[in-house]
Structure 1
């Protein structure tokens, strides 16, 4: 992956579980929301239909190119704690003075296993691996402009969630931290001309990628700390701050380290959730101006509990 457009790439156990399980991402009384820039640590039956995004790209003195995305994700449990996710989407890149480039992203498939839950300390840990399949989206010159890789990659990934409910200070207990850390392994290593440094094949370098989210749950505040009589709508809100990043991990490379912030709020109720965040580039390589991301999320365990909302092994 050449992360000139970091945001285009966003849209990849042995310990026993507790006796009771939730399809939503619960650890104890804390529910980890569906975040927009990073994957949440849970294994569940859900879908993001759709996720819309806009982020101005790095500019070289003139007007900034604008990257628009419409992404889709479908998550399905195979067993209670093991499942898969399918990600795809369509991108538009507006370029001042040039024709708009558009096309499908490369298809990504993720396998994830919920390996450990500690309800007392509100901690959840999952292990996963994501496969991005090259040339399943736009390719050739159009794919290159949209930053679609010509070589596939595999990314082993660690996911976690930690609620602060075991802290002795009441106002801190509604906070939660989630995160992911992955190592992208390219199928084909990048080769460059030793004199000019120009790539001579369609390979990629390996890369680290990850992120964190800090959440504050008004639902947790009202139900587990103190009910302040806030409106029901407010009690379903979760303000959130996210940070995602990527960085090259091998040489030669054409990659640059990039950081992207997301600051917004999530509304979660029975059956669905809606999230909205402002996007702020953390460095010049990630973008030139503020952007936006919005997502509508469905929970099938609420909407279709006897079909899509239960593990595949329970269908038979």
Structure 2
């Protein structure tokens, strides 16, 4: 089954947003933190450029698009590519430009499935995403932001580390001085209070370690509980997905696909997320089928009349 015709219950639509964002960022050398950041359409255009080099008019793509009008221009470029490649996937531009997370996540999930099929799950190592983006409006600024974010994430721990080193060094010097001068008080004169101060400092240090250890244990416990909860939810999701997938396969069987109830089930399976009337439509399909079966002139009615006619002649 091609990516352009995959059903809503396909495994492609169960890929999480973190995995999707990681795939987009690695493929396009970007630093997206939310799926709705792809709403302008520029990311979708460049993903198509990865798998079909030269097919996308990158100079017409704007990574700086802010208004819906500017975003729609990007989607026109994308639609032109879809038309050239005869891709039957419908682009719901009016929803995507609103920046709603679920709509953009679903389209990115489909994009990943399509790109994986074209590239046979391989990364196009020859593609230079930053260089291709240079031709786009706002592409250079996007590259600078992506580069800055990458550098920032790599160096974010350096100030804390330096501060820790300085603090540790200062503490080490104070402890060394105290150990070398155990009888010196704060004014540099010998006295009995020095030992008390050292013991108090040691006690506070030990108390701090205990508190940190208790907090760490609490965090570990919470993380463990969350992991178990996620695993349980994933198992439940996979169970119901398998059942629905089996139903979908059964409904696609040629000998069953014409049956009204099967058509009604398919209507429910392939309904979009924002179609609240799908159950009513499925019931209407069933009722219409029943009327057709019982209406005068139908094959079933003719068969019934023939049967009744034969019975009366026999009597």
Tell me the TM-score normalized by structure 1.
0.21
Tell me the TM-score normalized by structure 2.
0.21
- Please identify which structure carries the higher helix content: 2
- Please identify which structure carries the higher strand content: 1
Could you say which structure has the greater relative contact order, defined with CA pairs below 8 angstroms and 6 or more residues apart?
1
